[in-house]
Amino acid sequence: MTDVNLATKLSFTGKVLALSGGVGGAKLCRGLTATLTPDQLTIVANTGDDFDYWDLRICPDLDSVMYALADLNDEERGWGLRDETWRTLIAMRRLGGAEWFQIGDQDLATHMLRTQLLRAGQSLSAVTQQIAAGLGITHSLLPMSEQTVATKVNTDQGWLDFQQYFVRDKCQPEVRELHFEGADTAQLNPLVSSLLTDEALAAIVVCPSNPFVSIDPILSLPDCRGLLKKSSAPVIAVSPIIAGRAVKGPAAKMMRELDMPATALAVAEYYGDLLDGYVLDEADAEYVDDITALGIQVCVAPTLMTDLNSKIALADALLTFAASFKA
């Protein structure tokens, strides 16, 4: 752990709630866990990507965050575990089973245990907590809801389940609209609702995740937006777009298909009055005035997270920015 990191640990007081999707969100969450104590940080992950495959419950964003926090993730691939082997997948292929979604041998254990515990009647929060503890994670990681919400993508090829669109069809279909099936009757995780009314909450972080398929499912849950807006803590998003491109995934392509320019400014406009603050990459400093004119305070920082130091540096910059809202 670096001295810079230690200094932040001593100076940032209060609790932080981070809203996260998979890859980009998981990277920032890793930086935040190096900077904040387990008492300070709660991460809530999107579960709209969740689905059943091989008769197992797969929760990709919870998995991505867990593996990143445990330093077990495969950074290059962007999902799953490092040093993974694929013997089960190869055997499944030989038998003629489904193979379009790749489950590694070690990763399989996560899905098997999750499915087993869910079938035994445990909540997704309790199951996640048990698996995370098994990976040595001490910070709180929660699913956005205990109920099932499924992201559906309306494309030029019709409605697709999220993983069909994302993995099977490699994000190639043109996106027209998104629907979060079950969100209207699901409940925001009660632990998140109570944190949002906790006076010790000092910042709400919208991670640099895809706004449409990673953050919107969380925001679409009843009362979520209202609670975020009512909270005394500033809501601060980190741009998932740098110089017109998403670091990973289809966010920029999706923006163009949804008739939005693929810019960091357009993401700020999309979140609109939900935000009090926005962290923008240095490459996008030209948008500072436009975003400020929206009534959103701006922090310019390097947002590309290529290693642990850059994740911690971004978490640091974000928390220093968050602390400035108190003043």
Nearer to ligand FO1, 2 or 172 (CB): 172
Nearest to 238 by CA among 295, 175, 311: 311
Least distance to ligand FO1, CB of residue 206, Å: 15
Nearer to ligand FO1, 8 or 110 (CB): 110
Least distance to ligand FO1, CB of residue 96, Å: 18
CA 93 to chain centre: 31
Instruction: Judge contact between 141 and 65, C-beta under 8 A.
Output: yes
95 Cβ contact list (under 8 Å, min separation 6): none
Nearer to ligand FO1, 125 or 163 (CB): 163
Nearer to ligand FO1, 101 or 159 (CB): 101
Nearer to ligand FO1, 12 or 51 (CB): 51
DSSP string, 276-321: SEEEEEGGGGGGHHHHHTTT-EEEEE-----SHHHHHHHHHHHHHH
Six-digit token pair at 164? 């069909």
Least distance to ligand FO1, CB of residue 220, Å: 16
Instruction: Judge contact between 171 and 250, C-beta under 8 A.
Output: yes
Nearer to ligand FO1, 73 or 231 (CB): 73
Least distance to ligand FO1, CB of residue 208, Å: 12
Least distance to ligand FO1, CB of residue 326, Å: 33
Nearer to ligand FO1, 104 or 234 (CB): 104
142 Cβ contact list (under 8 Å, min separation 6): 42, 43, 44, 45, 125, 128, 189, 191, 192
User: Which residues of the shown chain bind ligand FO1 in the complex (CB under 6 A)?
Assistant: 21-22, 49, 58, 60-61, 63, 79-80, 101-103, 107, 163, 166-167
10 Cβ contact list (under 8 Å, min separation 6): none
Nearer to ligand FO1, 134 or 226 (CB): 134
Cα–Cα distance, 133 to 205 (Å, whole number): 23
Cα–Cα distance, 291 to 278 (Å, whole number): 8
Nearer to ligand FO1, 8 or 46 (CB): 46
Least distance to ligand FO1, CB of residue 18, Å: 15
Cα–Cα distance, 40 to 33 (Å, whole number): 9
Least distance to ligand FO1, CB of residue 120, Å: 21
Least distance to ligand FO1, CB of residue 7, Å: 33
Closest CB to ligand FO1: residue number = 22
Least distance to ligand FO1, CB of residue 79, Å: 3
130 Cβ contact list (under 8 Å, min separation 6): 113, 117, 122
Burial class (CB in 10 A: 0-12, 13-18, 19+), 27: buried
Neighbours of 256 (CB within 10 A): 13
Tell me the CA end-to-end span of the chain in Å, nearest whole number: 28
